[in-house]
Structure 1
Amino acid sequence: MIINEQQMEILNQVLCSILQNKTISNYHPEYDNKILDNPKLLSLFISSKKVEGCSEKSLKYYTSTIGHLFNEIKKNVVEISTNDLRFYLANYQELKNSSKVTIDNIRRIFSSFFSWLEDENYIVKSPVRRIHKVKSGRQVKEILSDEQIETLRDNCTEIRDLALIELLSSTGMRVGELVRLNITDIDFHERECIVLGKGNCQRIVYFDARTKIHLKKYLESRADSNNALFVSLAKPHTRLTIGAIETRLKKLGIKCNIEKVHPHKFRRTLATLAIDKGMPIEQVQKLLGHMKIDTTLHYAMVNQGNVKIAHRKFIG
């Protein structure tokens, strides 16, 4: 309905009468009760992500990333603007010489946090909405060749390390999944085990006959009573951590003169090999435990060997 000038004048008089001697200001009852305190909101957000099933590693990354933002921008979250975040990201990239991938990861964390604030009605609109994904060139990531894996095997001085390499190579499981495995999780008859992946989702992974042999030899060599599948070599033989495995593989890689040997490289190698040999992408997705097939598709572009062979076959 459109009102005319006379009606507008009457409306103006009524409003002036009602609002006379009144003070108009933004009212936030939560803010008055100090519920909108930044550390409190961060704590509530982390609690919500924990309920959603985020890993402890992810929760620590969320906490440190958002906490650093609060330390740099001395404002309450309701006052943080899009430009504040843009300046922060630009300065962070310049000071830390960070890659575009790192900056986009930070942007995604901010997006998750401020979207949660919006959903919970702490803010009206997320300031990250107008900050678009940071474009970065797709890099060809390295995988381990058959010769390199064989070299790593030959240079293992401990049966535990050999069993560890075999399990990573044949299953493609994440290192976080590996460290949570117990001896009772292994089904040697079916050559499979159940792992707990991201989001507390369970899935079955499979290993080959070679892995079965080395795993059995390793377990037979142990004299401890720890239920963990992989334990430290020294007493009291505690469960191996992610850091311990990463350090061990890194040292082994240096010894073999192989660059960047880490657990995820075995996972990437298995995925690439499966795709190159014609395994349907949906099955590779299931094997790796990816929620989205787009994540699995990244592995299809790792190895260019199949492209080279196809080019020679069909084009010359």
Structure 2
Amino acid sequence: MRNGQVQARTRFRDDDGRIRRVAATGPGRAAAERKLKVALTHRTTRSSYAELTPDSSFTHLVELWLEDLDLEDKVAQSTRALYERNMRQLVLPTFEHYTLREISVSRVDRFLKALAKNKSYSTAKQAKTVLSLVFGLAVRYDALRENPVRETARLRRPPSQALALTSEQIEVIREAVRGWRRESGLCGPKPDGQLEQIIEVMLGTSGRIGEVLALRKCDVDVTRTPATVRICGTIVSPARKPTRRQDHPKTSKSSRTVSVPSFTSEVLRARLVVVSDEDPEHLLFFTRNHTPLTTNNIRRRLRAALDGTQIAGVTPHSFRRTVATFVDRAAGSELAADLLGHTSADITRAHYIEPNEHVNPVTAEILEALAPQVHDSGQDDSGG
């Protein structure tokens, strides 16, 4: 060039597929080439997904997958947090040092079977879910031709039965919760009575614990007979973020208005008195600072209240199974599924209704038709 500068030029294919000329100048050839390389580096907008190849590390794929989850923003924050936890705790310790091409169907299959055997079916199922999702991203971005999880053997759910509480057990629970931490001489504030009220609302609505904690003043109508409750939200506690009310429950079918029994309507009226001066959006159940209660907090309280009783393994979900079983016995699984907000009665029967070992006694009446015929045993009069 006239000013003594040297120009380095090249043709570069941009992300839109078009080839363009790029140039850079410097005091010498080497300097010009260095500037050209820098210009090319700054010019490219190619994402890190283009770096995915069969030789990429599994750890790199996981980081890109988490970024993609945030970019799509299609799953709830609680679900996203669960995915990351399962990936980092269950999957990464096994696969973090492998490249993508090294993770074969057989390797994944053996991993899932070992997890199911040594941990549980549920743990293996959760690991399989996140593995399938992360390898799905690798396929979409051409790092793999096929998802290795798709060809693994089906995980077999072990036989299990939903267990419902009996009326007698429910009374024991009520008594234990009413008396919990109310002895004289204990340090700290006494229980505020919300735990026992929450139990009555769970029993009267079939609501999940998060759904019950998300009930607002405006969701309750006690002017009707029977009173009704609109279940249309849930409580979530995202990682490293404050607990809040989410304005929709677990699924679209989960939004529902249910009529409640008298023992639940009494509790609701009592809670409405507590929040009478609050705005319609105020929660019925809340902390002393008027913030949402966490589901884990209620679970801990329930475990502590039942410690020492003869009833083991009771969780908030136990009340939901109990409601499903009681309604099924009286009116069938279809109504139970509607009450629980399930999309299918099959889900309710498989996971929430305790199997009934007693066959309807009407069968005894029906089978009376098979009774032996009674014949006249009188003597024959033909002989003299």
**Fold similarity call, TM over 0.5:** yes
Aligned partners of 1:143, 1:102: CA distance in 2, in Å? 24
Cα deviations by residue, 1:126-152 (Å, 9 ceiling, x for unpaired): 101111221133212321111111222
- Aligned residue number for residue 184 of structure 1: 218
CA contact (8 A) 1:168 1:266 kept: yes
The 5 Å alignment of 1:86-105 reads 86-93=109-116, 97-105=118-126
CA contact (8 A) 1:170 1:207 kept: yes
> How far did residue 85 of structure 1 move?
1.4
Tell whether 2:189 aligns with 1:136: no
Cα deviations by residue, 1:161-206 (Å, 9 ceiling, x for unpaired): 2221111011111112222222222222342223232146633233
Tell whether 2:106 aligns with 1:70: no
**Cα RMSD for the two superposed structures:** 3.3
CA contact (8 A) 1:188 1:212 kept: yes
Q: Which of 319, 332, 340 matches 1:266?
A: 319
Aligned partners of 1:91, 1:39: CA distance in 2, in Å? 22
Give the direction of change, closer, same or farther, for the CA distance of 1:138–1:314 in structure 2 (3 Å limit).
farther
Tell whether 2:232 aligns with 1:195: yes
- Aligned residue number for residue 247 of structure 1: 300
Give the direction of change, closer, same or farther, for the CA distance of 1:145–1:166 in structure 2 (3 Å limit).
same
Tell whether 2:279 aligns with 1:229: no
CA contact (8 A) 2:52 2:61 kept: no
Higher alpha-carbon deviation: 295-304 or 266-275: 295-304
> How far did residue 289 of structure 1 move?
1.9
Q: 3-state SS of the aligned residue for 2:307? A: helix
Give the direction of change, closer, same or farther, for the CA distance of 1:122–1:211 in structure 2 (3 Å limit).
farther
* TM-score computed with the length of structure 1 as normaliser: 0.75
- Of structures 1 and 2, the one scoring higher in RCO (CA 8 A, sep 6+) is 1
Which residue identity lines up with residue 267 of structure 1 in the other structure?
R
CA contact (8 A) 2:206 2:319 kept: yes
- Aligned residue number for residue 3 of structure 1: none
Give the direction of change, closer, same or farther, for the CA distance of 1:300–1:89 in structure 2 (3 Å limit).
closer
Aligned residues: 281
- Aligned residue number for residue 195 of structure 2: 161
Give the direction of change, closer, same or farther, for the CA distance of 1:65–1:162 in structure 2 (3 Å limit).
closer
Cα deviations by residue, 1:209-255 (Å, 9 ceiling, x for unpaired): 211112222442469959222123xx324321000111122222225
The 5 Å alignment of 1:203-222 reads 203-221=256-274
CA contact (8 A) 1:45 1:113 kept: no
Tell whether 2:78 aligns with 1:61: no
Aligned partners of 2:223, 2:83: CA distance in 1, in Å? 41
Aligned partners of 1:138, 1:49: CA distance in 2, in Å? 37
Which residue identity lines up with residue 126 of structure 1 in the other structure?
N
Give the direction of change, closer, same or farther, for the CA distance of 1:44–1:294 in structure 2 (3 Å limit).
farther
User: Which structure dedicates a bigger proportion of its chain to strand?
Assistant: 2
Q: 3-state SS of the aligned residue for 2:349? A: helix
Aligned partners of 1:307, 1:50: CA distance in 2, in Å? 49
For structure 2, the residue ranges without an aligned partner over 5 or more in a row are: 1-48, 179-191, 234-248, 369-384
Give the direction of change, closer, same or farther, for the CA distance of 1:244–1:47 in structure 2 (3 Å limit).
same
Which residue identity lines up with residue 86 of structure 1 in the other structure?
D
Aligned partners of 2:133, 2:221: CA distance in 1, in Å? 39
